Amino acid sequence: MIVMRMTRSLARLPFLLTLAMAKATGAATGAPPIDVHVERSGGAVVIVARASLQADAATAWSVLTDYARYRNFIPGVQASRVVARRGTSVVVEQSDEFAWWIWRVPVRVTFEIDESPPVRLHSHARAASWPSLDSTFVLEPSASRVRLDYVGRVGPGMPIVARLEQPAVERAAVRDFAALAAEIERRSAASRTAN
């Protein structure tokens, strides 16, 4: 289930419909509950998401950094590969698909990622002609659970099409967060069953 709060709502029907569909899908598949808050700040959009997961921090970190397999569990990701790694800095290229109503737009995205194992990951995503996306994931372990926190900032795009671009990037960020949370719980459950 996705719980969403919006500040300064601006004709966001496509985004709300996407979240409603995700909520319905999550309820049907047993996906973890997700709290999402979206706020417009100047020309940018800030997305804050949180999920409390039945998982351990090591499994959560393993999923977050399993870049080459993102295409296996994040909808829309066609390909994902690590092209460079220097210590805790990683460059990942992805072929993605942004959806806008009935259209599907293929996009090549480059992520510059700074890892702070085992609890924090920051990335800067660039794609030609699309707004930038800066994201931070933080893992907060507790006794039998881990909380996954996310803050994403979608930069302003081209003024003429910004109203189309930003919602597509927002939906992709929320979609990716939900998929990561579900995969973390799935792998943790599989690990518990195997032991």
What tens digit of pLDDT does each residue of 23-45 get? 433 433 467 899 999 888 877 88
Reply yes or no on whether the pLDDT at 164 is more than 60: yes
pTM score over 0.95: no
Task: DSSP for 47-74, please give it.
Answer: EEEEEEESS-HHHHHHHHT-GGGHHHHS
- 54: pLDDT strictly greater than 90: yes
* pLDDT given for residue 96 in this prediction: 84
Enumerate domains of the chain plus CATH numbers: 2-58+116-194 (3.30.530)
Residue predicted with more confidence, 20 or 96 = 96
pLDDT at site 99: 64
Beta-carbon contacts of 23 under 8 Å, excluding residues fewer than 6 positions away, are 1, 2
Q: 18 versus 186: which is more confidently predicted?
A: 186
The rounded mean pLDDT for the chain is 81
* CB neighbour list of residue 12: distance below 8 Å, 6 or more residues apart: 6, 38, 167
